[in-house]
Amino acid sequence: MLLDSILLWWHRGKTKSKMDRVFSRGEDPFSYSRCEYELSRLAAMEKAASQHRYGRALEIGCAEGLFTEKLAGLADAVTALDISPVALERGRRRLNGRPVQFIEGDIREWSPAGQTYDLIVLGDVLYYIDKPLVRASFERVFPRITSWLNPGGRLILAHGFAGEREGAHRRGFRERFQNLGLELTHEEIVAVSSGAVRCLLSVLESAPS
């Protein structure tokens, strides 16, 4: 247990420094607003989310708030969590005046203090924490996130992969949530002709009350 905590502390510092370094290179380091694949992935995520209107939404790993901006149009209140203060500062500027609360935190430790959500979105974030030395804290994330969903709430997962091995790994994220009782209501693979990376987009729902 003590070793787990020390390893998590170490990995959190490592991830935070890495992500701050990436975002310090300049705006949009992942080319979300330029790359055809990323634009298609974000459009598919928006389409999956926009079939409903939500009270409260949570985005985990919000980066600079590009998808958060879409969520702000779909939900009355949005909480956007990220480990990188550099990314969050850009998100705050982007969404200045909108009903979005940006929070710095590590999904393996942060908790919403009793708050629950109608929509939770995880896009390209879970593989950052699925690492051998910190696997126990990674596995604990799934029941924690599931417990934050309201009855009838939706969970959107969207993770890129290249090749069958990574594809199976991304399916494993969705399967863990299914094993916790969430029902898969939609799944698609988002791809563009130019490039080997594809995205597994899954929509899951908790049982209605």
Ligand X SMILES: C[S@@+](CC[C@H](N)C(=O)[O-])C[C@H]1O[C@@H](n2cnc3c(N)ncnc32)[C@H](O)[C@@H]1O
Please say whether the beta carbons of 176 and 138 come within 8 A. no
Question: In the bound complex, what is the minimum distance in angstroms from residue 76's beta carbon to ligand X?
Answer: 21
Task: Measure the CA–CA gap between 130 and 167, rounded to whole angstroms.
Answer: 14
Q: Does 8 bind ligand X (CB under 6 A)?
A: no
Helix axes 164-179, 135-147, angle to 10 degrees: 50
Rule CB under 6 A: which of 16-45 touch ligand X?
19, 30, 32
Characterise 100 by phi-psi region: left (phi > 0), alpha (psi -120 to 50), beta (else).
beta
Q: Does 124 bind ligand X (CB under 6 A)?
A: yes
Per-residue contact string for residues 80-119; x = within reach of ligand X by CB under 6 A: -xxxx--x------------------xxx-----------
Among 95, 123, 190, 201, binds ligand X (CB under 6 A): 123
Rule CB under 6 A: which of 146-185 touch ligand X?
158
Question: In the bound complex, what is the minimum distance in angstroms from residue 209's beta carbon to ligand X?
Answer: 29
Question: In the bound complex, what is the minimum distance in angstroms from residue 34's beta carbon to ligand X?
Answer: 13
Binding site for ligand X (CB under 6 A): 15, 19, 30, 32, 61-63, 67, 81-84, 87, 106-108, 123-125, 128-129, 158
